[in-house]
Amino acid sequence: MIDSDLPGSTQGPAATRGPVRVVGTGLLGASVGMGLRGLGVDVVLHDPSRTTVVLARDVGAGRFPAPDDEPVRLVVVAAPPDVTPDVVLAELAAHPHAVVTDVASVKSAVLEELRTRGADLTRYVGSHPMAGSERSGPTAARPDLFSGRPWVVVGSGESTPAAVLAVRSLATDLGAVPLVLGARAHDDAVALVSHVPQIAASLVAARLRDADPAALDLAGQGLRDVTRVAGSDPGLWTSILAANSAAVGPVLRALRDDLDAVIEALEHADAAGGAESVAAGALGTLASTIAAGNAGVSRIPGKHGGARKDYDVVTVLVPDAPGELARLLAEVGAAGINLEELQLEHAPRQAVGLAALSVLPGLRGRLEHELAERGWKIAG
Amino acid sequence: MIDSDLPGSTQGPAATRGPVRVVGTGLLGASVGMGLRGLGVDVVLHDPSRTTVVLARDVGAGRFPAPDDEPVRLVVVAAPPDVTPDVVLAELAAHPHAVVTDVASVKSAVLEELRTRGADLTRYVGSHPMAGSERSGPTAARPDLFSGRPWVVVGSGESTPAAVLAVRSLATDLGAVPLVLGARAHDDAVALVSHVPQIAASLVAARLRDADPAALDLAGQGLRDVTRVAGSDPGLWTSILAANSAAVGPVLRALRDDLDAVIEALEHADAAGGAESVAAGALGTLASTIAAGNAGVSRIPGKHGGARKDYDVVTVLVPDAPGELARLLAEVGAAGINLEELQLEHAPRQAVGLAALSVLPGLRGRLEHELAERGWKIAG
């Protein structure tokens, strides 16, 4: 693919050749532009909002204005899922020699609509970078947004090998890890690992709306973890869920069946209200629900893509002052111990934090010894 | 309460006067013992398992053996919820001058059974320290397990002021923050902030059991957060959920109603399959579901018990080597910037981590500047 006499290929290590046209210059589009510009690739910008595209230009995402019919090699459509098919169709027509990709977080609905409407699917390759931010818009864009993240590449079934390679190269140039999946497999996967967890988090968080403040004072890290993603944008998620309803629906219905079983079990779990055998069956349902969760969570890959390790965790009290956490971690580093995971938690109404340090199994004793010697208080 | 001529009150700052009898010397009981022993309070231990009680003694949780009828001032029952009433009754009878408390994570069911069975409720005060660990047993015990954690104190309605004060003092001596609640209010609160989130996490995680490994490769921090507590112990949670079914049931049924609405909305969200007005209503349901989650999650208190702040977050790439994270945080500290929250995430298959540094609003620019000057790569 690399051809040193073409624009964009002489200034950096990029496999992607410009000009690249980015259509939709919000967080994702502007981040694609900034990342490519950093590699010396020529990028032209387009967005229905002039404010958005000017902001994207000003943060260094690419050129603007540029003629809509300026020849380009690659078009990246970064629009909400519901408008993505329209935009992809228009770009395929306007740039008859370009490869066109999109970054929408659902793939089957987009591909089906393109097929129905007679798009040239040889030049279309869908993609989905698994990256984002709680902030949005071009001012939140970062050239490294995709660094280390999975980037799903979804051929249309008619995509040419060159078109697929162009999108894989885009992912790799931006520091992402390309994963090739079919549209349906992608949509089933994100339903499981993203869309259903989002709905569950929102439903649990919604129960807190009318909670007594005293109840919320009992909130611990568990509740915070379960509900963190419940802060997501309703507009974007409505579009995502509607576009992936075919994959999300069956998972949610299976989850509801399990939930119904739990609710029924809770009604019978108290032996005082019925026969012993009914109560025993109810307890069995509760236990198998929690055990099924154990089995599922153990399959989530951990660090470096391996199966999740059971780390040893040492929890340390950290005074709430600048530099204290740094001093703690400096002393961990000085002891030659590598942290696998780190979580900082603040105790309610106390000027002290709890730092949970995860280390490889077997290092716990040494870590505790090293920290205690340096005067740190171990909390668990 | 402090009376310097009584045992235990001269060696430390404890308001709790011994001897204290700890019945059940697993994680919680042994931690209570270790914490009190560290303050110079005399502690005697009892557990139905001789192995467990000997381990607890050996880690410094208290004295063993001791006569069961040795006079004590306070009994702490740290047994599973389903056996707690039996043990509390036996201890009230065996120690007719002692205050008896328990640490079970449900309170109404225990109190009702004690009342039905004619317990002396003037000397009984329930409690629930909001602390735990993914490890269990006396070898996981820590004298600081309760440090900075809420500790709910639940009077029986007949408890004497002195009995309530004794349990509040126990909480304070162990570094916890006592919160006085009624039994029903406590159970409703933990249903909302702990039991229902646990069930939701388990149900989401259970969907992963049969997932394609390629799907799990797309797992991000969102899934990890939602399902982290799904690793909990089935036996303990069966006992907790059964004992709190009266409070958990209504919350779960309300959640199921919301879930049914989402499932129905997903069936109608695609306008191609029905009338435009039906599709619009479905999209409205999806949007209001996510918005309700926004409203709920915003009520969870953050650091120091205040309403959660919207921190600025700066994400930094950290090479996966000992000392690198420490160097990062040392440089944050050297810049005089206090971290409010810190989360470390590992990118799949990359020898690099992403550290999300949360700082007070307005400090983002300065933090980014300071880090960039020192050569750190800002990722978002």
pLDDT in tens, B128-145: 999 876 667 888 889 989
Q: Residues A146-176: pLDDT tens digits?
A: 988 899 999 999 999 999 999 999 999 999 9
| Fold (CATH) for B312-373 | Alpha-Beta Plaits (3.30.70)
Cα-based angle B127, B132, B138 (whole degrees, multiple of 5): 95
Residue B271 — very low, low, confident or very high, per pLDDT cuts 50/70/90?
low
Sign of the torsion formed by the C-alpha atoms of A83, A85, A86 and A90: positive
Q: Which of B292, B306, B316 is nearest to B368 (CA)?
A: B316
- Tell me the pLDDT tens digit for each residue of B250-265: 999 999 999 999 999 9
Alpha-carbon span A194 to A204, nearest angstrom:
16
Mean pLDDT along residues B182-207: 97
Stated as kind and residue range, the H or E segment containing A75 is: strand A74-77
Q: Is B42 on the interface with A (CB under 8 A)?
A: no
What are the residue ranges spanned by the domains of chain A? 20-181, 188-297, 312-378
Place A133 in a pLDDT band, splitting at 50, 70 and 90: low
Rounded to whole angstroms, the Cα distance separating B214 from B276 reads 36
> What's the start-to-end Cα distance of chain B, in Å?
54
> What is the pLDDT, as a whole number, of residue A374?
87
B329 within 8 A of A241, measured Cβ to Cβ:
no
Amino acid type, A76: V
Inter-chain contact B266–A198, Cβ cutoff 8 Å?
no
A197 with B204: Cβ contact below 8 A? yes
- Does the domain at residues A188-297 carry the CATH identifier 2.30.110.10? no
Helix (H) or strand (E) holding A54: helix A50-58
> Residue A322 has what pLDDT?
66
* A337-363 average pLDDT score: 69
Could you tell me which CATH number the domain at A20-181 has? 3.40.50.720
pLDDT at B41 over 90: yes
**How high is the pLDDT of residue B310?**
60
Put simply, the answer to whether A149 touches B347 (Cβ < 8 Å) is yes
List, as ranges, residues 207-226 from A with C-beta within 8 Å of B. Answer: 207-209, 211-212, 214-220, 222-226
In whole angstroms, give the CA distance from residue B102 to residue B114: 12
Confidence of residue A368 (pLDDT cuts 50, 70, 90): confident
In the block, which residue shows the tokens 């019919």? A69
Q: What percent of chain A has pLDDT over 70?
A: 88
pTM for the model stands at 0.76
Q: Is B248 in contact with B195 (CB distance < 8 Å)?
A: yes
Beta partners for B356? B315, B343
Tell me the nearest-neighbour CA distance from A238 into chain B, angstroms. Answer: 5
A342 touches chain B (CB under 8 A): yes
CA–CA gap between residue B60 and residue B38 (Å, rounded): 9
Higher pLDDT, A22 or B322: A22
Is B318 buried (19+), middle (13-18) or exposed (0-12) by CB count in 10 A?
Answer: buried
- A-chain residues near B80 (CB < 8 A): none
What class is the A312-378 domain?
Answer: alpha beta
Q: Directed axis angle between helix B324-334 and helix B364-373, to 10°? A: 120
Which one of B192, B308, B311 makes the best mutation probe of the A interface by having the most chain A beta carbons within 10 Å?
A: B192
Dist CA B43 CA A252 (whole Å): 51
Count how many pairs of residues, chain A against chain B, have C-beta atoms within 8 Å.
498
In A189-340, the DSSP E strands lie at 312-319
User: How many whole angstroms separate alpha carbon B65 and alpha carbon B45?
Assistant: 7
A11 pLDDT band, cuts 50/70/90, is: very low
Q: What pLDDT score was predicted for residue B183?
A: 96
